[in-house]
Structure 1
Amino acid sequence: MQTAERLHFSAEDYLAWEATQAEKHEFVAGEVFAMVGARQDHVVVSLNIASALRQRLRGTPCRSYMADMKLKVEAADAFFYPDVMVSCHLDDRKSEQFISNPSLIVEVLSDSTADYDRGGKFVAYRKLNSLKEYLIVDIAARRVECCRRTTSNDWLLHDYVGEVDCELTSLGIQIPMAEIFEDIEAA
């Protein structure tokens, strides 16, 4: 991630400033980072996942959100724009600018963000008590890494590769890998 202009804000000042910006920026501990545009495959996979989630969650209290909805991680003094997330929490339905209680977060890897998505960002996400699963989607490898919180608050990795279903136990649903990677040409 690159810093926008080395701007430093409080969380409240960031929200006010971000509302006036043409581009998206993430916020971590007072620092603001410009978001770069995504490649087509990244957008297609994100949309495939968000669409699959929306379809399977109809009639439940859960909602899926795409990249334009901010996520507040208060314990990390941060705001992020995950590629996809799901919240089943009533307070999140009432919030207009951000959600704070996701059950599921999905990040689709890109060359520039892969290390951060697996490292510092996941460290921040783990501070969310509501988070049950974190999906890391690797388009090049056609792989989904599902990090699932255990009852002892540890994180267990489940790897999905090939023609299998990706199980999201936090939501009680499955998404076939073929659906996640639909319309993506084989490498």
Structure 2
Amino acid sequence: MNAVTPLKMTAEEYLAWEEKQETKHEFYHGLVYEVYAMTGARDAHVTATLNVAALFKSHLRGTPCRTYIADMKLQAEESDAYFYPDVFVTCDGRDKASEYHKSFPKLIVEVLSPSTAGYDRGDKFAAYRRLASLEEYVLVDAARFSVDLFRKDALGRWVLYPSEGMETVEFASIGLTVSLAGIFEDVEPGSPAQASPTDSTPAH
């Protein structure tokens, strides 16, 4: 992964600046990083993302909940951050206030790639955990056909529910149980993706 120097700016500057950009950028602790697609895993990554989003949208049809994919920003205000999750669900009416970003997710899903897996499991999860509205955080590994689901319990502790040995995944936050086969439908087995040489996602 190429170490591209991130831009420095405030959250307010970032929001105004990014509206004029042609590519997506995430903001974390005063630094701006460009979000690049992963070469090699694009088909698997996009297919798994679409499968999850479609399952959620179908299940939530007719409810106040909305499913968003990677083009919608998510604000993690307490962590001074804005991210682009692969999929997230919000059922909070306050999220209707902003057309460009949401702030009160109930469920977040990230589809892993080799260059971002550490970031998704580390700093990004740490920022997400500070979101009071968040009930579940899910990591989908399209290379290994596995899912790690973290659920916040009644004491505020995050408990891991891995898919190993299971045929289904329960998304308790939205009352949905789906098969692993449904999540990985049309995802072709293959080697893990290689990151683009210009990928500047922060390595944490």
Q: TM-score range by the shorter chain?
A: over 0.9
In the other structure, the counterpart of 1:91 is: 94
In the other structure, the counterpart of 2:112 is: 109
Aligned pairs for 1:128-139 (under 5 A) are 128-139=131-142
Q: TM-score, normalised by structure 2?
A: 0.88
In the other structure, the counterpart of 1:179 is: 182
Structure 1 residues without counterparts, runs of 5 or longer = none
Task: Note if contact 1:3-1:32 (Cα within 8 Å) is conserved in structure 2.
Answer: no
Q: TM-score, normalised by structure 1?
A: 0.95
Task: Note if contact 2:151-2:161 (Cα within 8 Å) is conserved in structure 1.
Answer: yes
> Does residue 55 of structure 2 align to residue 56 of structure 1?
no
Task: Note if contact 1:2-1:34 (Cα within 8 Å) is conserved in structure 2.
Answer: no
- State how far apart, in whole Å, the 2-side matches of 1:20 and 1:54 are: 29
- State how far apart, in whole Å, the 2-side matches of 1:12 and 1:35 are: 19
SS at match of 1:60: coil
Identity, in percent, stands at 49
Task: Note if contact 2:26-2:32 (Cα within 8 Å) is conserved in structure 1.
Answer: yes
Aligned pairs for 1:12-161 (under 5 A) are 12-38=12-38, 39-161=42-164
Structure 2 residues without counterparts, runs of 5 or longer = 191-204
Q: Which structure features the higher share of strand residues?
A: 1
1:184 is displaced (CA, Å) by 1.0
SS at match of 1:170: helix
1:141 is displaced (CA, Å) by 1.4
Task: Note if contact 1:3-1:31 (Cα within 8 Å) is conserved in structure 2.
Answer: no
1:6 is displaced (CA, Å) by 2.9
- State how far apart, in whole Å, the 2-side matches of 1:77 and 1:9 are: 11
Task: Note if contact 1:4-1:32 (Cα within 8 Å) is conserved in structure 2.
Answer: no
- State how far apart, in whole Å, the 2-side matches of 1:29 and 1:13 are: 13
Which has the larger displacement, 67-76 or 168-177? Answer: 168-177
Task: Note if contact 1:103-1:130 (Cα within 8 Å) is conserved in structure 2.
Answer: yes
Letter in 2 for 1:76: S
**4+ runs deviating over 6 angstroms:** none
1:138 is displaced (CA, Å) by 0.8
Taking a change above 3 Å as real, the CA distance of residues 43 and 24 of structure 1, as seen in their structure-2 partners, is same
Task: Note if contact 2:148-2:160 (Cα within 8 Å) is conserved in structure 1.
Answer: yes
